[in-house]
Chains A and B, each alone.
Chain A
Amino acid sequence: MSAKVKIIERKGVSYNEKLFLVEVFKGMRVTLGHFMRNFLDNSKLYVRHYPEVQPEISPRWRGRHRLTTHEDGTVKCVACFMCATNCPSHCIMIEAGERLDGKSEKMPIRFDIDLLECIYCGYCVEACPMDAIRMDTGIYSSTSSDRQSMLKGIDELLTTPGAFTEEDYKKGGV
């Protein structure tokens, strides 16, 4: 088998290129074009005016986590520890307890996600057999002034709403 050889044209050997000046002026013409366009009408800038104009988040975006519930409001999670086992950064801490609502045998009494540890890989979502944890809240910016508030407990995970409809999530996600 012969290796594929791609010959790349070598730049910078022609007389004009060695002279620098011609190429310098060519480059300066390009940048001045950009400058004048933006200077004369700054609505043409290629930027989003960020805090005011938010980006559009796709349903496939892995944002902050949430725990899903059954229609009657009970938590879907059965404390099987699949997500915590799969988690490469060990940011999920679960404590299982007895379940009394008849859905299954176990439920989490503590379910903490440390957002400072999380690497947003989404393995927990893939591992979950009950579709109980999702990353579809569309929250991409988590900031805080202290560490403690970055540790999200079960109550907050349950109350954070999803940002997309069930249909969109199914289409874009799994």
Chain B
Amino acid sequence: MSQLDILLIILRVAFGAFVPLSSVALLVWMERRGAAFFQDRAGPNRCNIMGFRAGGLIQNLADGIKLAFKEDIIPGHITHKFYFILAPVLVFMTALISFAVIPFADTLVLGGNDYVMQAIPLDIGILWFLAVVGFGVYGIILAGWSSHNKYGILGGLRAAAQVISYEIPMGLALVSLLVVYGTVNLNEIARFQGQLLFGCIPMWGFLLQPLGVVIFIVSAFAETNRTPFDLAEGESEIVAGFHVEYSAMKFALFFMGEYVAMFVSSALIITLYFGGYQIPWFTTETLISHAKPVALVLILLIPVGMYFITGWIKKNNLSHYIRLNDPRAREAKVYIWGFWIFTLVIEAILLALLLFSSGGNTTHIFVALLQIATFLLKTYAMCFVYVWVRWTLPRFRYDQLQRLGWQTLLPLALLNIFITSAVVVALS
């Protein structure tokens, strides 16, 4: 194994572990500010370090410190302490390792070697995901049961019933998808979507499987226990459901696990149905052979984008009441400077690429970075959909949830398999 091999293994595992983890902070922020804006309020915007609020991101830091220093209570009535402690760990770990098989860029070719851009370069892809995510619900059930609390038990029961009902339509939606793609390897699935349909439209999964994408997204919402299917939590009915007895960092693990799961399932939806890391109309080969024109376009586009972003910061990072020497205006100035310096650095790198690169490894790395950026952008857009749905739809009633799962989604998923198979057979 060369040094490059080891370096790339470390880089890929680090990406697989730390990107979902750091996304937690970003997603909590997105959730809270998003919720506020959906409801015409401001959300957390006071917490600051020396006057710098980073749009409310500092609030997460304060919350994290609070949770870390809180007393970690294990109530006296709990007899199965091991399971009680195991439960949040299980929820969090399964959410985290299910990200390991998702490709965040096309296979990187460096010096003649292929590097699959996944934290764990497995071929079984989607099967790994199903296995690990299905395991994650054990954490919720264990938490509910070992809490020895009626609300906890009810939450755990609901989670169990819900997951059983929704794994089936999810799995069936995947079956028809796999019929189309003919592979379970997520990287090959993503590469398949780089083709063009009728020579002009990107062949993304949601165009090939319009019914499947609806079924899959609905089931994915139920899998991650997000509104409108967060019956396991149901704070208005069963207090907080499965995590009612948890405090401090054990609660934080559940909380982070929820957001990691949301990030991972967004990433999976993106990979399966929205082209993964593919930039529409630009396959990896096109990007590699046209790296210089792409770099030139980026050099021209990035300052324009930055101009609008800084304008938005200047307009919105203000105190909306009369205030002498508004510190927020000063804060905005610092941010705008930061953004322009960041732009300059990127421009310099792109310019260097444009002037001095002669193809080969540099181009490959450039394309991989572009695809990682695309992947993250798409994933966060999907996460925004999660937040958007949460603050729009009320929670389903329990019987409505089961009826939707068994009487609507299951027959639709079966019908979808039938139609898909018929079309695939007819075309081949």
User: A residues within 8 Å of B by Cβ?
Assistant: 20-21, 24, 27-28, 30-32, 34-35, 38-43, 45-47, 49, 52-53
Say whether A49 contacts B37, CB under 8 Å: no
Taking A41-B316, A52-B321 as contacts, is the C-beta distance between A46 and B388 under 8 angstroms? no
Interface size on B, residues (CB 8 A): 23
A-B contact pairs, 14 of them (CB 8 A): A21-B214, A24-B393, A28-B389, A34-B40, A35-B34, A35-B37, A38-B36, A39-B37, A40-B312, A45-B37, A45-B41, A47-B40, A52-B319, A53-B321
Q: Which among B34, B38, B323, B388 has the greatest number of chain A C-beta atoms within 10 A?
A: B38
Asked whether, in the complex, the Cβ of A41 is within 8 Å of the Cβ of B315, the reply is yes
For B21-37 the 0/1 string (1 means CB < 8 A from A) is 00000000000001011
Check B312–A46 contact: CB distance below 8 A. Answer: no
Contacts of B323 in A (CB 8 A): 52
> In whole Å, how far is B405's beta carbon from the nearest beta carbon of chain A?
13
In the complex, which of the residues B34, B41, B392, B393 contacts A47, with contact meaning CB atoms closer than 8 Å?
B41
Task: Say which residue of B37, B38, B41, B320 sits within 8 Å of A43 (CB atoms).
Answer: B320
List chain B positions with a Cβ less than 8 A from chain A. Answer: 34, 36-42, 214, 312, 315-316, 318-321, 323, 388-389, 391-393, 404
Which chain A positions have C-beta within 8 A of B393? Answer: 24, 27
Interface pair B40/A45, CB less than 8 Å apart: yes
Q: A24-B393, A41-B316, A45-B42 are in contact. Are A35 and B321 (CB under 8 A)?
A: no
The answer on a CB contact under 8 Å between B40 and A46 is: yes
CA A92 to CA B388, docked complex, whole Å? 51
A68 to chain B, nearest CB (A): 34
Is A47 within 8 A of B38, CB to CB?
A: no
Min CB–CB distance B132 → chain A (angstroms): 29
- Tally of A-B Cβ pairs under 8 angstroms: 56
Chain B's closest residue to A49 (CB) is B321
Residue of B at shortest CB range from A25?
A: B392
Q: Which residues of chain B have C-beta atoms less than 8 A from A47's C-beta?
A: 40-42
Using A35-B38, A39-B37, A42-B42 as known contacts, say yes or no to A49 and B320 having CB atoms under 8 A apart.
yes
What residues of chain B lie closer than 8 Å to A20, measured between beta carbons?
A: 404
Q: Are B388 and A31 in contact (CB under 8 A)?
A: yes
Q: Check B38–A34 contact: CB distance below 8 A.
A: yes
Known: A27-B393, A35-B38, A38-B36. 11 other contacts (CB 8 A): A24-B389, A27-B392, A28-B392, A31-B391, A31-B392, A34-B38, A42-B37, A42-B42, A45-B41, A47-B40, A47-B41
Q: In the complex, A41→B312 CA distance in Å?
A: 8
- Complex interface: chain A residues within 8 A of B41 (CB): 45-47
Contacts of B321 in A (CB 8 A): 49, 52-53
Residues of A within 8 A of B39 (CB): 34
Given A28-B388, A40-B312, check contact A34 B37 (CB 8 Å): yes
CB neighbours of B319 from chain A (8 A): 49, 52
Q: Which 4 A-B pairs have the closest CB atoms?
A: A38-B37, A46-B40, A31-B392, A35-B37
B394, closest chain A residue (CB): A27
Alpha-carbon distance between A30 and B318 when the two chains are bound, in angstroms: 27
